[in-house]
């Protein structure tokens, strides 16, 4: 499909490309990860890092690792403009890169949490139906309540769902265990084979895995009324360039 001479790439195709280029090894804590990148005003940096630390410490993020890019510095082919700061978080699609052929990203959405327990997806967008990351779209709609979830234990958070063949279950669980040991704490739910996960049907002979969205910290910043411009699945970056949030705040 083309538009104005340019080929349109659906998010599912972009994800597959990024998955196969991800080289992160959770046992070695090394390799390339996928980065979500946000731009904020320089004057808001301390407040934003404080919010990120709060969200990450609550477990509503993929990892405790972030990257700060100062004004004038470059990341890939992008240079941070004057008066701005870039903040990167690990995108949850990195997990699919580790699982690789074991999992297939299906959709991104908003999950309702009640008293600390995930209940169901309330809004979803499939990766094959959009050219923009679903979580990026849903965050822009202002329908999350991540900050309320942090205060009360109930609210709506960003998450995504992938399907995996049940024959690969043991290998997937082993890889997920390695990721947990590496600090990837965003695994929200792993379903049983042939069973709906958070009210979403799963393909026959598959199981569903729900992972917290890497853009939840950005959603809270937005909920606090601080301007933030987020580009999900922005680029690949070496994990060695990331820092733990507590080392920055």
Domain range list for the chain: 11-91+216-247, 93-215
198: left (phi over 0), alpha (psi -120 to 50) or beta: left
Q: Indicate whether this model's pTM tops 0.75.
A: yes
Percent of the chain with pLDDT over 90: 64
Q: Is the predicted pLDDT of residue 2 greater than 60, yes or no?
A: no
Confidence at residue 133, expressed as pLDDT on a 0 to 100 scale: 83
Q: Is the predicted pLDDT of residue 8 greater than 70, yes or no?
A: no
Task: Write out pLDDT tens, residues 161-208.
Answer: 999 998 888 888 898 899 999 998 888 888 999 999 999 999 999 999
Distances (CA, A) of 64 to 88, 89, 184, 241, 243: 11, 9, 8, 13, 8
Query: How far does Cα 224 stand from its chain's mean position?
Result: 20
The CATH classification of domain 93-215, taken from the options 3.30.70.1360, 3.30.70.1400, 1.10.357.140, 3.40.50.2000: 3.30.70.1360
**CATH architecture of the domain formed by 11-91+216-247:** 2-Layer Sandwich (3.30)
Confidence at residue 179, expressed as pLDDT on a 0 to 100 scale: 92
Highest mean pLDDT among 126-130, 155-159, 229-233: 155-159
Structure tokens at 140: 């822009």
Domain 11-91+216-247 shares a fold with domain 93-215:
yes
Query: How far does Cα 111 stand from its chain's mean position?
Result: 13
Handedness of CA 214, 225, 144, 9 (dihedral sign): negative
């Amino acid at each position: 499909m083309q538009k104005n001479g340019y080929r349109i790439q659906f998010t599912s195709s972009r994800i597959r490309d990024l998955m196969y280029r991800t080289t992160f090894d959770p046992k070695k804590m090394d390799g390339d990860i996928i980065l979500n990148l946000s731009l904020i005003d320089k004057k808001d940096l301390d407040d934003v890092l404080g919010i990120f630390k709060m969200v990450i410490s609550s477990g509503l993020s993929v990892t405790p690792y972030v990257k700060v890019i100062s004004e004038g510095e470059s990341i890939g082919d992008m240079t941070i403009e004057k008066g701005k700061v870039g903040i990167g978080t690990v995108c949850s699609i990195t997990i699919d890169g580790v699982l690789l052929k074991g999992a297939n990203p299906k959709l991104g959405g908003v999950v309702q949490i009640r008293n600390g327990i995930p209940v169901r997806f309330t809004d979803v967008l499939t990766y094959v139906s959009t050219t923009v990351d679903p979580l990026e779209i849903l965050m822009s709609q202002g329908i999350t309540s991540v900050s309320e979830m942090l205060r009360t234990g109930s609210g709506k958070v960003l998450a995504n769902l992938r399907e995996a063949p049940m024959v690969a279950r043991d290998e997937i669980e082993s890889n997920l265990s390695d990721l947990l040991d590496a600090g990837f704490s965003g695994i929200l739910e792993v379903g049983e084979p042939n069973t709906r996960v958070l009210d979403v049907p799963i393909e026959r002979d598959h199981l569903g895995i729900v992972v917290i969205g890497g853009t939840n910290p950005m959603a809270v910043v937005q909920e606090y009324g601080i301007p933030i411009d987020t580009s999900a699945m922005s680029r690949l970056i070496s994990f060695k360039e990331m820092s733990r949030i507590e080392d920055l705040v």
